[in-house]
Amino acid sequence: MTHHPRARIYRGTPRNLVHLAGALRRGELVAVPTETVYGLAANALDARACRKIYTAKGRPATDPLIVHLHSLDQLPSVAVPNSAALRLAKKFWPGPLTMILPKNASIPDAVTAGMPSVAVRMPRHPLLRRLLKLSGLPLAAPSANQFGCVSPTSAEHVRDGLGRQIRHILDGGPSTIGIESTIVDLRQPRRPRLLRPGIITKAELEDVLGVRVYSLPSGKSSRSSAQLAPGMLKRHYSPKTPVKLHRKISHAEVRRHPLSEAWVFLARPRHLTGRNIFWLAPNGDLRRAARHLFHRLREVDAQAFVQIHVERARGQPTGLATAINDRLRRAAASR
């Protein structure tokens, strides 16, 4: 693995964006902000550049990358769109929705884990959109972290994890959504499948498509077989400290355990304080909880607790609680 001097964090000035667009065209890696989490980007048309992503992250070659586009005009150059994909793109792009479609021959196998399909999305973050336009390239980008670890939602998170493996990080501020994009498989447009829940919900997809969206049973994938989409492994998004998931945490249960164990509530608990008490959103608001989820897991993980107890999100089974609980379930999966 190549070890560089510690990565430089760039502000999003016009001059810096031109410099980073040039780096991408030369086959270099650039960590980029998106509205979901930070990504590690390379020219999606350059197999050698994309292989550098796998090396830097320690990512298995069986886990495909998402290709990021600047405009809908680019879609036919990387994938074979259908009417269902175009309907969803019109409604949700630019935004946190990734679609699985048959791939165009221009996309190398290194991007798709050798699969004949490709994951594509059009991000909403204004700095990344400017960089995509300046580079003139589709950019392949998984999350900018060591494989399987907690996803990064700030430039500093990226530097903490990959600071010696990469050279360039574009700072776009904290991620506003905080969990990865919704992924829907549209290879059979009459039978769409939700592969990864996100802030765009199953109910919203069904509303636009006018057909039922099927859910994939969770945690069936292993590292040894090619994945259809990223984020499908049983264990993912994981802190170093073991995580235990609870339907609801009672104050009595907290008091029975030693202070060496951390407790993460959905909302700020009343009448319970201490250095081992944390929460995702003061009032339990799910959008805010999603935005703070990975940041909070990193914060707690850094404090040398022996175990992290986390409360599940409560809400509609087709809504945002599903996406938060999906990340928590994978974070808590046994090693």
Cα–Cα distances in angstroms (integers) from residue 22 to residues 93, 132, 158, 159, 226, in the given order: 26, 11, 21, 21, 32
Mean pLDDT of the chain: 93
Binned at pLDDT 50, 70 and 90, residue 67 comes out as very high
pLDDT tens track for 293-312: 999 999 999 999 999 999 99
Question: Tokens at residue 22, please?
Answer: 């040039």
Which CB contacts under 8 angstroms, 24+ apart, belong to 284-289?
Answer: 286/313, 286/315, 286/319, 286/320, 286/321, 286/324, 287/199, 287/320, 289/313, 289/324
pLDDT tens track for 27-60: 999 999 999 999 999 999 999 999 999 999 999 9
Q: Buried b vs exposed e over 244-256: b needs ≥16 C-beta within 10 Å?
A: eebeebeeeebee
pLDDT tens track for 127-152: 999 999 999 999 999 999 998 899 99
Question: 69, 66, 78: which is closest to 228 by C-alpha?
Answer: 66
Question: Tokens at residue 280, please?
Answer: 């995702």
* Residue 3, pLDDT above cutoff 90: no
* Residue 318, pLDDT above cutoff 90: no
Bridge partners of residue 278, in order along the sequence = 264
> Out of 3-12, 16-25, 43-52, 200-209, which region has the weakest mean confidence (pLDDT)?
3-12
* Residue 221, pLDDT above cutoff 70: no
Global confidence as pTM:
0.93
Mean pLDDT of the region 59-75: 95
Q: For the chain, what are the domain ranges?
A: 8-215, 243-332
Identify the residue with better confidence: 207 or 225: 207
Q: Tokens 């990223």 appear where?
A: 230
Question: 181, 211, 177: which is closest to 196 by C-alpha?
Answer: 181
* Residue 1, pLDDT above cutoff 70: no
Q: What pLDDT is attached to residue 225?
A: 59
Q: What pLDDT is attached to residue 222?
A: 47
List phi, psi (to 5°) of 9: -95, 125
Question: Tokens at residue 14, please?
Answer: 């016009």
Identify the residue with better confidence: 216 or 249: 249
pLDDT tens track for 104-118: 999 999 999 999 999
> Out of 10-24, 234-248, 273-287, which region has the weakest mean confidence (pLDDT)?
234-248
Q: What pLDDT is attached to residue 314?
A: 86
Q: Tokens 């339907």 appear where?
A: 247
Binned at pLDDT 50, 70 and 90, residue 6 comes out as confident
Q: Are strands 97-102 and 8-10 parallel, antiparallel or unpaired?
A: unpaired
Question: Which residues neighbour 213 within 8 Å (Cβ) at sequence distance 6 or greater?
Answer: 184, 192, 193, 194, 202, 205, 206
CATH, domain range 8-215: 3.90.870.10
Question: Which residues neighbour 185 within 8 Å (Cβ) at sequence distance 6 or greater?
Answer: 100, 117, 192, 193, 194, 195, 228, 229
Binned at pLDDT 50, 70 and 90, residue 189 comes out as very high
